[in-house]
């Protein structure tokens, strides 16, 4: 690791409507080091990364590159100053070849035409300098994810980047590919390139990082050297000590089992899932984004097919079910992506509310406006949806009220099982507690709720039991009594495994001694 | 007052402006006869445009409408001619011909619908292909010409009503207009008072969300094209009755008029916005423009250019107008 600081951010703040994403955050990067940015979902990592790469301008604070203050925040300016970013979603053109992708927008030219020979020559040289074996004539679409990532790295290097920001680069890689990536990162470090590495995986830190900066709720918590920091300390930093109870609900004894999933598998995304849900219960489903929580919800709801396993509803096994079948059974899904999956924004509240229950409401096919309006009004009043009329276009409602419209849709179908996927995403604080109160009322009246949430305070405050998922598996089931924020984070990020490995290594060492 | 005026659809403003201009250009323009003429001439286009509107509302498009119109007229005429040649009565021949015509439209619609809903082809491609198929079949079945029909029972569908119904002002109501009104009422009930209609709009508004609400999106999407096919067939059969002939290329380009009418009436390509009342205005707008250009003596070679310009201007105005309306909320 060099001693020269090549990037420094001081007192960075950034707000979006309703959220303070970053609050006076500091960050620094030295030449030739890999600096890990660690934090929960929503801790502010992406926002910081976007500011460093010029996609956002900060509200307050300064960014220095090689000691020079950045005045214009623009991705192209940042690139010219040597900062490149590799997003989780790659920015490659699938039906162009490797060399074309690397030199896109800067094609080497001869007499005004693209100099293919030079382009492929340069690309090959670049790739081999990184020990990457990729044919420069291959189409991006034909490459594996790992190879595509290498092309992204090569593309960044082709513009003489001195700083490379990588957003969860290993999330889609196999173990072997991960090792390969790490060796490339080490090599880049040796060439003096600084890398900002964003990750969720505590297991990786030892192998790739030099220093780590932890963010929590948009605030800078601390900076540590990887050597000498323990997993417990990092988890502690990420969680903090202010356990804020969002909502106090009365817990009641659970009733009979209404949903049971046995040995459900779907490729790599869901592996051997066993869960149960009882009447009157709120069961939390915790885990990182991409751990398979939404996949599980979609599989149970009949949206996506699964490979094997059994699903029981109210004691009956159901097979080959569609969404319509699940709705018939009284299952409902309140999706995370409200705007694309929950409701039709351009249509009135009333049409959104009745869409799932038209068949039952109007068995004679003719839809009577009057009956429909009385019916919809009943639920609008019951859920206290703030709208001037039921014919209001859904788009003009607040996030909280839109969410209530989605819930009203399922109350119309007489749903008994509610799967909430991030129920309070994008909803302001006041409306949040209303959604919590609504969920509490639902279970009190005999419904069952499976709640996916990335907000620890929410999941701890609301759930009777919590399942934690990691990489497509349920890694633990926590009762209300044993749940702490630390426990959930440890399970979700694999800290328990790191500890186990270390203990194992420790015992191995003592034995050999 | 301002907010009241802005609620008046943009198509009405355009129609009023055009009528003012055409009245200045020709004294023959603003007469009862001419207005009635406009309505009668465009009734058949309205039927086709209603189908186009339903498809657009589901976030699809049906380019085969004109070809299906032609083909249905041709199959209807072909069967009728066959049966009459072999001595069937006019009524039998008419019933058989019309049934086969309607069936043709339904079948074509069902195929387009299957390609879109089951085959997951983009509606543009699926209906473009079916447009070719329909156009070609029409030429083959009609031997590249027109099939003339001499069947008074059938021709009734194309006539004015004063001969049959002894009521005042009946010379102003023709069968095509009457059929268009009936189809409009049916479309209205289907769109606004059946689950099917709700599903159409909801699929257009948010297909994924509708699927996640437990609606069988595949089936209902298929159904939209089927209904649009039947509407095309109704217009084809009515047109053939009015012309007393089924021409093998008569419907070329009609699909674009139909789609343009729907859009002029405020139906949008996306998000399930719009409705069939606007489509009536859109059809009238096209009718008023075309008739006005004729009556005021614009050379026929220049008429398509002016029609195109009018449609573009009217759509630009509709976009601006709908932004004003949104701003008022």
The CATH number of the domain holding residue A1 is: 3.40.50.300
Do A445 and A499 lie in one domain? The reply is: yes
Name A30's Cβ contacts closer than 8 Å, sequence gap at least 6. Answer: A1, A2, A3, A4, A5, A6, A194
pLDDT reported for residue A513? 45
Same domain, A356 and A437: no
pLDDT(B52) > 90: yes
CB count within 10 Å of CB A369 equals 10
Domain boundary, last residue among A160, A188, A213: A160
Could you tell me if B97 and B83 are in contact, meaning their C-beta atoms sit under 8 angstroms apart?
Answer: yes
CA separation for the pair A300, A323 (Å, rounded): 9
- Tell whether A143 and A276 lie within a shared domain: no
Pair (A39, A156) in one structural domain: no
Assign 3-state DSSP to chain A and report helix, strand, coil percentages, each to 5.
Answer: 40, 25, 35
3-state secondary structure of A357: coil
**Which one has a higher pLDDT value, B32 or A31?**
A31
- Partner residue opposite B273 with nearest CB, options A346, A409, A413: A346
Residues A138, A308: Cα–Cα separation, whole Å = 36
Provide the angle, in degrees to the nearest 10, between the axes of the packed helices B217-243 and B90-117: 150
Distance CA A143, CA A314 (A): 46
**Which residues of A are less than 8 Å from B197 in CB distance?**
367
The residue ranges of chain A whose pLDDT is under 70 are 1-2, 18, 240-248, 428-430, 499, 501-513
At B277-299, the pLDDT tens digits run: 999 999 999 999 999 998 888 99
State residue A303's pLDDT score: 92
| Residue of chain A whose Cα is closest to the Cα of B214 | A324
| Confidence class for position B269, pLDDT limits 50, 70, 90 | confident
Q: Given A351, A383, A414, which residue is the final one in a domain?
A: A414
> Pick the residue with more confidence: B139 or A236?
B139
Co-location of A366 and A425 in the same domain: no
- Chain A residue numbers touching B210 (CB-CB < 8 A): 344, 355
Q: Is A404 domain-assigned?
A: yes
For chain A, which residues lie within 8 Å of any Cβ of chain B, measuring from their own Cβ? 301, 303, 322-324, 326-328, 333, 335, 340-347, 351, 354-356, 358-359, 362, 365-369, 393, 396, 409, 413
Judged by a CB distance cut-off of 8 A, whether residue B139 touches chain A is no
Using alpha carbons, list the distances in angstroms from residue A325 to A301, A319, B154, B169, B209: 9, 10, 48, 55, 16
Domain's final residue, options A357, A388, A414: A414
Asked, for residue A246, whether it belongs to a domain, the answer is no
Mean pLDDT score, B188-210: 91
B202/A342 touch (CB, cutoff 8 Å), yes or no: no
Q: How much is the pLDDT for B7?
A: 77
Contacts of A324 in chain B (CB under 8 A): 214-216
Give every CB contact of residue B63 below 8 A, 6+ residues apart in sequence: B124, B127, B128, B130, B131, B255
Task: Give B-chain residues touching A413 at CB under 8 angstroms.
Answer: 214
Which chain A residue is nearest to residue B213, measuring alpha carbons?
A356
* CB-closest option in A345, A367, A369 to B195: A367
A444 to chain B nearest CA, in Å?
24
Q: Answer yes or no: do A441 and A298 share one domain.
A: yes
Mean pLDDT of B42-59: 95
Residue B68 has a pLDDT of 97
Cα separation, A498 vs A502, in Å, equals 6
Sorted by sequence, the CB contacts under 8 Å of residue B323 that are 6+ apart come out as: none
Between residues A173 and B15, the one the model is more confident about: B15
Whether residue B201 lies within 8 A of chain A, CB to CB, comes out as yes
Residues A398 and A420 in one domain: no
Q: Is the ipTM of this complex over 0.90?
A: no
Is residue A249 domain-resident?
A: no
Question: How many other β-carbons are positioned within 10 Å of the β-carbon of residue B214?
Answer: 26
Residue at A88 is within a domain: no
Residues A171, A153 share a domain: no
Q: Do residues A306 and A429 share a domain? A: yes
**Are residues B47 and B235 in contact, defined by beta-carbon separation less than 8 angstroms?**
yes
CA distance B208 to chain A (A): 6
C-alpha–C-alpha distance, residues A128 and B112, integer Å: 52
- The total of structural domains in chain A comes to 4
pLDDT, position A509: 53
Question: What own/partner pairs with CB < 8 Å and gap ≥ 24 does A427-433 have?
Answer: A427/A398, A427/A399, A427/A400, A427/A403, A428/A18, A428/A398, A428/A399, A428/A400, A430/A400, A431/A398, A431/A399, A431/A400, A431/A401, A431/A403, A432/A246, A432/A400, A432/A458, A433/A246, A433/A247
Determine whether the interchain pair B211/A301 forms a contact, defined as Cβ–Cβ distance below 8 Å.
no
If asked whether residues A64 and A182 sit together in one domain, one would say yes
- Please tell me whether residues A183 and A288 are part of one structural domain: no
- Mean predicted lDDT score pLDDT of chain B: 90
Which chain A residue is nearest to residue B205, measuring alpha carbons? Answer: A344
- Distance from B150 to chain A by nearest Cα, in Å? 41
Per-position b or e across B271-288, b if 16+ CB within 10 A of its CB: bbbbbbebbbbbbbbbbb
Domain that holds residue A181: 1-82+161-240
In a shared domain, residues A70 and A213: yes
Residue A127 forms part of a structural domain: yes
CB atoms near residue A118 (< 10 Å): 15
Better-scored residue on pLDDT, A246 or B114? B114
Q: Does B192 touch chain A (CB under 8 A)?
A: yes
Q: Can you give the pLDDT at residue A406?
A: 94
Q: Is A511 inside a domain boundary? A: no
pTM summary value: 0.78
**Nearest-angstrom CA–CA distance, B322 and B266:** 8
Domains of chain B: 28-328 (1.10.3470)
Whether the per-residue pLDDT at B174 is higher than 90: the answer is: no
Q: What is the DSSP letter of A182?
A: H
Residues in chain A with CB shorter than 8 Å from the CB of B202 are 344, 347, 351, 355
Q: Per-residue confidence at B139, pLDDT binned at 50, 70, 90?
A: very high
User: What percent of chain B lies above the pLDDT cut of 90?
Assistant: 67
Nearest residue in A to B204, CA atom: A344
């Amino acid at each position: 690791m060099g001693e020269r600081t090549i990037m420094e951010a001081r007192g960075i703040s950034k707000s979006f409507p309703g959220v303070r994403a970053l609050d006076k955050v500091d960050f620094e990067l030295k030449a030739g080091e890999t600096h890990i940015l660690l934090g929960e979902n929503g801790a502010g990592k992406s926002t910081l990364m976007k500011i460093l790469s010029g996609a956002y301008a900060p509200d307050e604070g300064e960014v220095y590159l090689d000691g020079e203050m950045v005045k214009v925040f623009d991705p192209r300016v940042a690139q010219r100053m040597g900062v490149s970013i590799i997003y989780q979603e790659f920015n490659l053109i699938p039906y162009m070849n490797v060399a074309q992708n690397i030199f896109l927008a800067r094609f080497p030219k001869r007499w005004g035409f693209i100099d293919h020979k030079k382009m492929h020559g340069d690309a090959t040289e670049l790739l081999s300098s990184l020990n990457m074996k990729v044919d420069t004539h291959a189409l991006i679409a034909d490459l594996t994810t790992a190879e595509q990532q290498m092309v992204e790295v090569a593309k960044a290097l082709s513009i003489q980047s001195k700083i490379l920001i990588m957003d969860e680069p290993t999330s889609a890689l196999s173990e072997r590919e991960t090792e390969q990536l790490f060796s490339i990162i080490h090599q880049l470090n040796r060439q003096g390139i600084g890398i900002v590495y964003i990750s969720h995986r505590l297991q990786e830190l030892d192998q790739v990082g030099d220093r780590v900066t932890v963010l929590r709720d948009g605030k800078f918590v601390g900076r540590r050297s990887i050597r000498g920091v323990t997993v417990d300390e990092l988890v502690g930093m990420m969680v903090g000590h202010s356990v804020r109870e969002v909502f106090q609900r009365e817990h009641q004894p659970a009733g009979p089992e209404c949903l049971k999933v046995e040995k459900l598998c779907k490729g790599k995304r869901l592996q051997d899932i066993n869960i149960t849900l009882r009447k009157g219960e709120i069961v939390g489903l915790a885990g990182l984004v991409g751990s398979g929580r939404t996949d599980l919800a979609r599989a149970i709801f009949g949206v996506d097919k699964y490979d094997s396993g059994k699903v029981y509803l109210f004691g009956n096994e159901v097979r080959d079910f569609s969404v319509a079948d699940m709705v018939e059974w009284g299952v409902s899904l309140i999706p995370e992506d409200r705007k694309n999956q929950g409701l039709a924004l351009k249509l009135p509240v009333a049409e959104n509310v009745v869409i799932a229950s038209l068949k039952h409401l109007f068995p004679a096919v003719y839809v009577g406006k009057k009956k429909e309006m009385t019916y919809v009004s009943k639920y609008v009043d019951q859920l206290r949806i703030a709208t001037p009329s039921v014919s209001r276009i859904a788009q003009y409602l607040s996030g909280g009220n839109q969410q209530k419209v989605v819930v009203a849709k399922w109350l119309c179908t007489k749903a008994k099982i509610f799967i909430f996927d991030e129920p309070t995403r994008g909803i302001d604080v006041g409306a949040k507690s209303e959604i919590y109160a609504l969920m509490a009322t639902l279970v009190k009246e005999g419904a069952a709720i499976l709640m996916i949430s990335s907000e620890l305070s929410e999941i701890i405050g609301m759930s009777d039991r919590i399942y934690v998922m990691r990489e497509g598996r349920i890694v633990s089931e926590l009762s209300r009594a044993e749940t702490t924020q630390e426990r959930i984070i440890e399970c979700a990020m694999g800290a328990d495994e790191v500890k186990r490995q270390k203990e194992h290594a420790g015992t191995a060492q003592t034995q050999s001694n | 007052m301002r907010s009241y005026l802005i609620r008046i659809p943009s198509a009405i403003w355009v129609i009023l402006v055009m009528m003012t201009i055409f009245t200045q250009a020709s004294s023959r323009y603003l007469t009862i006869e001419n207005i009635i003429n406009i309505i009668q001439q465009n009734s058949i286009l309205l039927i086709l445009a209603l189908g186009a509107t339903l498809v657009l509302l589901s976030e699809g498009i049906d380019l085969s409408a004109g070809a299906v119109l032609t083909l249905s007229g041709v199959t209807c005429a072909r069967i009728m001619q066959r049966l009459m040649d072999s001595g069937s009565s006019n009524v039998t021949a008419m019933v058989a011909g019309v049934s086969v015509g309607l069936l043709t439209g339904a079948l074509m619609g069902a195929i387009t619908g299957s390609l879109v809903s089951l085959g997951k082809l983009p509606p543009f491609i699926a209906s473009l292909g079916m447009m070719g198929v329909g156009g070609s079949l029409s030429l083959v079945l009609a031997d590249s010409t027109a099939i003339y029909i001499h069947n008074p029972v059938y021709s009734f569908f194309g006539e004015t009503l004063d001969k049959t119904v002894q009521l005042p002002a009946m010379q102003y109501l023709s069968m095509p207009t009457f059929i268009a009104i009936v189809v409009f009422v049916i479309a209205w009930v289907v769109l606004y008072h059946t689950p099917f209609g709700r599903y159409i709009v909801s699929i257009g508004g948010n297909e994924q969300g509708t699927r996640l609400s437990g609606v069988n999106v595949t089936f209902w999407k298929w159904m939209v094209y089927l209904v649009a096919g039947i509407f095309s067939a109704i217009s084809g059969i009515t047109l053939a009755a009015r012309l007393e002939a089924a021409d093998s290329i008569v419907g070329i380009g009609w699909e674009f008029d139909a789609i343009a009418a729907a859009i002029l009436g405020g139906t949008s390509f996306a998000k399930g916005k719009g409705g069939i009342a606007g489509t009536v205005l859109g059809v009238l707008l096209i009718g008023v423009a075309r008739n006005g250009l004729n009556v005021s003596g614009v050379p026929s070679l220049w008429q398509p250019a002016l029609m195109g310009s009018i449609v573009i201007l009217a759509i630009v105005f509709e976009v601006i107008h709908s932004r004003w309306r949104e701003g008022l909320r």
